[in-house]
Amino acid sequence: MFEDFSVRHLPALYVGFAFTFGGIWPLFSAPSSLRAFGFPARIRNSPAAWPVMGIYGSRTSIIGILIYTFYFQHKYTELDTILTIIGTYAGFVDTYIITKATEGSIVHSFYRLIPSLALGAYGYYGLTSGRLHNTMG
């Protein structure tokens, strides 16, 4: 199962784990998952937000399961594509939404943006598949 494992696969496996199991969290405790995401009390304590967070979590779990599916199929280039899209798109969207929800608190926003962009760069340069490594020597 892990015969092709490499340390460079760890970011994809970590994201797969975080998305699969982190996406389940809102189904059991939407307010605490909203707090962990960075939303202020007025949003996380609003029962109207809880079903939305649950639906979001189920979609997030699907992405995590897809990451593991591609990993066990040895589709590392596809994993790099997923990491690129998640890192860049989700990073910017999360930053925008958290900034709006916290009425301009840039700390929570950039706390999400910087690691997301690093993840996007990791995928963009093909580090899971070793594409950059293979072209360098």
Q: Where are the domains of the chain?
A: 7-127
**Confidence at residue 137, expressed as pLDDT on a 0 to 100 scale:** 41
CA distance linking residue 61 with residue 44, whole number of Å: 20
Encode pLDDT of 60-102 as tens digits: 999 999 999 999 999 999 999 999 999 999 999 988 988 888 8
CA distance linking residue 112 with residue 104, whole number of Å: 14
CA distance linking residue 59 with residue 57, whole number of Å: 5
CA distance linking residue 38 with residue 51, whole number of Å: 17
Does position 124 have pLDDT exceeding 70, yes or no? yes
